[in-house]
Amino acid sequence: MGAEPLRWFERVSWWEAERRMPLGRSRVDVEVWRLQTRLGRNAGSALTTMEIIRDGLGGGWRLRSAVADNTFAENTVAAAA
C-alpha cells in the first residue's frame, strides 16, 4: 500500500439515465474506495491509484479509474544515474 485507503459515499445520479428510479433500487448512495498500491513486492514500481465502487444491485465491485504515477520510478532511476 502506498497510502491509507480512503472510503466515502456518493449520490447516484439515476435521473440522468432513467426517467424513474430503477425497480428494486432503494439505495441512492454508492460506496467508493480509493486505493494506492504498487505492483507486487517491487518497491521501485510506480504507485497505482485506483477507485472502485460497489455495485448496488449485486454487491460486487467495479473499477472506476486507475492511474499509474511514474514519478517515483523516474526519480529512482535519476538518483541511480
Q: Count structural domains, the chain.
A: 1
pTM of the model: 0.65
Per-residue pLDDT of the chain (81 residues; tens, 9 = 90+): 778 999 998 887 767 767 776 666 555 678 899 999 887 788 788 889 999 998 766 678 999 999 988 654 444 444 444
Q: Is residue 12 part of a domain?
A: yes
Q: Is residue 1 part of a domain?
A: no
Q: Which domain holds residue 13?
A: 6-19+29-80
Write the single-letter amino acid at 50: M
Q: What cell was used for 52?
A: 472502485
Q: Is residue 24 part of a domain?
A: no
CA distance 67 to 63: 11
Closest CA to 29 of 55, 6, 11: 11
